[in-house]
Structure 1
């Protein structure tokens, strides 16, 4: 028969609540239980009042456990655990409102051992908790340890002895094995009953099966420990990724002039922008390098993935790019070799890149790209993306060929190279070229490449990017 608590409305599942709401409800319920707990002086001479006080004490103990769990949940444990505790609290309130009917009270039993007459009285619930056939009768205090785990027997014996000899209350937990082989955890609370001379006449106790509660607590602890280990591993991996990235990316800050040993022909500046959360360290890179014979190498790129695997692959790719560029390999052929490198790498990855070689004597820009946003050219107060030569993502297909384009630049021209994460946010999927070309007037007023980089960062730096990004600005001086 349904509980009378729900007799006035159709049965329906309880609504989920927030952790804060559960904490508030637990505190309120604890106060309600404490308010109805009988006064110890009243309970001393009345067995029924002692029984009521023992039940209230158990309820308070259980609610304290719930409060502790909910406090942990508020600090970030999984929502599934919050829902489990919400169900248990709803069950607790329903049991209390039902005034004795419900699964909670069926897990609580009572016993009294009379030391003067050797009589033992057990409630029906205690037989069910301990799995004992009522026809076998209750167990004496001497027989009780036989049910308990060997390692818990000394604690039970000491607790009972302290109660009988010194009049101390009983409050402890013991693991026991029922006759059917099931292992249960029982919380036992009790007190001695004294005669007129102050000697112990009998001992009564309330025993509660807390096996499910302790399993839940263990699951919470294990989950918390697992989360802490995961957090430590993530922090360690992020630190290693950051250190590797800082070791590989160019160490220079501010503007860089090429060539280093003659009149400046190219003013270069770059910037790395982390993801909005700062937690994702990817394989984005930028690089500027002076080559033999006075040429300059400009490149930006991005590898898929995050963490140590992405930054280590980026380090390998960037090292190969620098070596081949110094060896005189042109951008188109260079991209072909990088594609072969990624294809044969023991850690397969996909990457996009743009590689430019600038010859100051003729102001010629030779460049190639691999599935990457084209450089933006700003000239005479206007900006546009360069027409991209053919080139697929690095590592996407074997034997890919990459075309190379050439362009003659003019003094005052400005090039902007960037990875696609620069302006891509959770709200848009475009590459943001229009937002960057709209900055042409501000670029024209900028004093140098570094100021142009600051303009770009101010424009896109406040937007919530899904990942990290790099931007590089190169201004032709002469």
Structure 2
């Protein structure tokens, strides 16, 4: 039985091209920035096809316009490349995967491009779209030569392989950027939520106050552990540490209901020995399943005394 495996010499991409395409995998998917990736691919396409110029044109959804030209001054072919790319992108929607023309002057479909600067510089023409995984175009790689019939099937296959690498790299880059934006948004939400639940440090006579708040879960901005402090009308400092059963933002909501109840009762003049029982009544009426511990302190700056009341919480540490 004959060996049906495709030998490398039978491939449209010849052996000499394979090394460059392997290098493309390293260069395009490596740590280069977008401009470097585009430049490398354009130069590689010129090397593989012996084109006189290569241009990368972004799709309208990516901002449009000629992003890069190598092999000749940009102004020479920019108008032609932009107009030709519009035709190519329209064809992508219809399922076309590229255009290869031996003599563009003889193709009636390109007759409308004659008025554009750069048309006379192009005879042989090869254009391949750079596609996302869903088939939408990121852009197009376009190559030209002033002589006819310079691009064969092998050249088109090689450029198609390059654009496949570039399309995957652009998709990965877009995903990384999207994740970075999402992470930045999440960090901002975390900071805003932390600022919302953390009370401002009060100014208390004869006392220096400080706090370090670190959530137990890095993925959760807050949790069931919360603190509160406020200066009461008589000048005393009301200070509370609450630990609610649960995790994450839901536990924070429950902890805030406890700290708010304690604060309101303290501001209303509720005695320390009744704070816990009255808070339990208020909170249980709204959240009967809520379970929490608390440590309440009352500091009087005029005489330096501290009164503590515990509600199942570990005792305070005095250093």
TM-score by length of 2: 0.48
TM-score when scaled to structure 1?
Answer: 0.35
Instruction: State which structure, 1 or 2, has the greater radius of gyration over its C-alpha atoms.
Output: 1
Q: Which fold has the larger relative contact order, with Cα–Cα distance below 8 Å and residues 6 or more apart in sequence?
A: 2
